[in-house]
Structure 1
Amino acid sequence: MNVMKLMRSSKVLYFLLWLVIISFVIWIFAIYGGGGQTSGKGMGSQYIVKVGKRSLAPRTLNLALQFQREMIRNYVGEQYVEQFMKDAHKRAVSNFIDSLILEDVAEELGMEVKDAEVADAIEKTFKFQDPATQYPLMLQSRGVTADEYESMMKLDLTRNKLLNFFSQRYLISDKEAEKMYENENTKIKAKVILLRNSNFLKELGEISESDVRAIFEKEKDNLKIPEKRAVKYLMVSAPMIRMSLEIPEQEIKNYYEMNKTKFGEKPFEQVKMQARNMLLFSDEKYKNLVQETYDKATEEFKKLKDEKDIEEFSKKYKLEIKKSNLMSAEKPEPPFLTDQKAKDEVFKAEKGKWSEAFESPMGLLRFCVTEITEPRAATYEDVKDEIRDNIKNERLSELAKKKAYELKSRFKDPKTFEEEAKKSNYQVQDSQEIKLSDSIPFIGKNEEFARKIFESEVNQVMEPYQTKDGFALVIPLEKKPADMEKFKAEKSKFIDKKTREMAEKYVEELVSQRRQKLEAKGEISINQDILKQYDAQKES
């Protein structure tokens, strides 16, 4: 790409460079940071991150950190300390990965940013009097090439283009927008007193066996133990393959000897595993071997026919066939805990038969159901502890509620009320000025209850509110209504802002899902040697 050819005649002011810098840095601080991107132009080992066919040049990280540092300095002035940049290189690299994933999304949708669009953005942002001279000088001062800098801008434009596209998926009516605006701009302050159930453990006393038995007899017709299943399973992922590779110890030792400073001069035996992993991540030969081995293993894995094949495969690649405990659909174990598809497959599978290979968030998975217990009526022994806990929690909740109403009845004013609450070891907290959509101390986010606080009388205690672990008493201290006239004047702008936020959330989730799958396939690579150099700089 040579955007300079497209912008020879542009005229711009140098100081507007900061518009792009600030935009880029905000991007990095948010979720989708980025830098100069090679898009598969054959960087070889000269990269900081790779995602599939895309990579970013090492100098991109320097550029990103320059921009971050300069923006922070501009913002905090003389109060700047280098501690503000702690782990900034690690965050930036993580964000680079997300940026390259977004490039893939744009390509799939036919929304790649063209060179002409980058040229147009540069022309509108910079108005150099002599672009043929000033532009190269600016690039030289930053230590980057035109391709690297223009690719950085391309990533920013790509993200904005995708967000504009996805924003169109969301429609917000005037009524919905009005409610959103009101929730975001109505402000309240409140004093919150929490009476936790655990405050009354000493008053509770013992739960008798007869009480537990009585509940069991009353409810036993409805008490069921669900079907449970145990499985053995085998998973294949690039990280697993990487860990299973055999590397000659002499090669690890050679790497250690050549890079002793990276290990703080620690003895070889003490850092052998660390040296092994660094070699795997930094040596192109081994990175290629990991990918080749993973590709070969996944193809073999899909073709395995029976138990014997599975066992031979696991030995060949040094992968462990793991076993689960008996689990119900309501309480699955990893890796089925977070994978709805895998869990569903388990609970409809035939016992003793290995499943076909299918993709899960953590890698390719095959399983075999080894045991099934049929659903049945619960016995007293099955459920007595659960019944005891339920009785305990119900009685504690009733005690907390009773004490909350007793305390409320003695209310005189906020100050003496707080003093009395603290004498009883109840927790007290004054909120900052919060919006209806913000979290309330001890209660969390609850727009409906926040609205009730706003509608209640200032400096008077409200009815007790049940929380997940007790009861809260709330005293509104101050309230400021939203300026709805301002909303009418800014309605279109506000709706655009909210649809943009919805698009950002969608994109964040999309990137997260894709990143999980790419990591499982070993298609994300970070140049650990370069990161180690930054770590060493920080330590020195």
Structure 2
Amino acid sequence: MLERIREGSKGVTAKVILGLVIATFIFAGVGSYTNTVDTSVATVNGEPISQQAFQEAYRQQRNRMQSQFGEMFATLEANDAYMANLRESVLEQLISEELLDQNAIALNLRVGDAQIKQTILEMPEFQLDGKFDNARFQALIQQAGFYDASSFSRYLNETMVRQQLVQSISTTEFSLPYQQEMMVKLINQSRDVRYAILSTEGFKDGIEISEQEVEEYYQANQGRFATPEMVKVEYVELNLNDIAGEVAVTEAQAQEFYEENKTSYTKQERRRAAHILVEFGEDKAAAQAKAEEALAKAKAGDDFAALALEYSADTFSAENGGDLDWQTQGSMDEESMDNALFSASEESPVADLVETDFGFHIIKMTDMEAEQIKTFDEVKDEILATMKNDQALELFYEQQTTMEQLSFESSDSLEEVATALNTDVKTSDWLTRSGNVAPFNNADLIATAFSVELMEDGLNSDVYEVTPEQQSIVIRIADYQAADTKPLADVQQEITVLLTQQKATEIARTKADEIIEAVKSGNDVDVALTELNSEFVEHAALTRMDATVDGAIVKNAFTLPQPQADELSLSSIELANGDYAVLQVVAVDEGTAGAQDANLAEQQQRMLSQSTYATYIEQLKANAEIVRTLSKADATLY
């Protein structure tokens, strides 16, 4: 078992999953891994799950959903129950991950240093042109919050150990050949059918609906005719784009800005660094002697890349000549290393020995780019745009302050606000508590529109930043309509049409059943179908994916039993529009094995693996001591 687990992290699937995990981690940041534990939202066998870890996981999941659902997400977000369920699912995922980590430790799972190193070298996130690039590696792990390659390696070790366990669970299930064959036959199966559609339109002319029937339906289905609570609001809107359209910046002003901010358009001198790290080990003096030996060789002109391979404890950079990428003054974490790099020169590119908490460093400047200043013409358009935006933003804040003051001081009207901002008071369409268009798809704004303060007191709202630094709005109630039920007179025609359709559908069902009985009795039904303006349509080799036939007919065609010599396979089906269909399965072709068999087998195994994994997690939870401390009140903070 353990051997199978250890092999798990070497498979293709494991590498794909691992790549996704690491990519998400790198570009989202290390979160709770590099920070101290704060107040926990849960404990798993005594191990806390921090608020910070929960917040980061929740933020990422919320962002994924916002990207997936677009504007519709505002409606989902306004649903407290939905968002509470989302928070709970995020917490449960974190609990599952903690249980996996603990179980991996209990099983004494390990990942070797060589495997970690090889994984890093093969990760596409760290490659350029298909090859590992140390500069990209260093930049990305620093962006993620790791101090050095060693701290990232430790994190990767934990992730890969967990992945060993996940992969072993996922690969314990397999589908047998006969199961795969059964699935192939079912999916590839085709059926010869014939069907006749009985339209309800021909039955409606003779149908009469009484007032009593309408009344009874109305009373029994009040909810169908309910109208939601609605408001209309007056509002004044402040938009940064509108303000920017009125701002003008001259070229002379841009030139003055350029001269005052020339450093912003100056590209700092930068130097490319390479290093050799000699760790202290147990004998610092011996380490210093070794470092000085390497330093002497480097200053003597020996090949620095070869020296890095021979002496450096930083194996990742050593394989790239000790390269640490381009650096600007002050960009290196250790000031002493930074000073050493920028004290080097083209004549003496190797600096004197540097000591840090990690050991002795030999720093070499391998390349240099001098300071560069962009000309005014190169940055003129950028400056004009920046100045215009800055001035517009300043005016936006000034006008927003005016909006806040006047809407409070003149709380019974928005006219003074509109006059001061040189705009108009607008009136919205009817708004409900959800499903409104921008800017009224803002959950907080809509909650305010339906608040007691605005409804009963007739006051202006606070100013809301619908989009920070882009759009602000203040509202007041213009009209209100309580939730109600439409009067019978308004829906009588609608009910009459609906009941007529229901009766016509019932007639069609009866006729369909009569046709089926006639077919079973061996009678000719062509005349009867003709009288109903219908006929049998033959369809050979119908498949499950056939889009040329009504979906309800296709679904039922593969639900009916296969026809037997002494028993026909027939059914009547109500279609979505109320029509009825008479369906007969004439013959069944099991189909043959095709090129998709491998995909079907993989799909079946994936389904089995997912089921096994879910069962495993539930078992871990059942045997664990889990305390969930994230309350609904706490959750509103996220």
TM-score (norm 2): 0.35
Q: Answer with 1 or 2: which has the greater Rg.
A: 2
* Greater fraction helix: 1
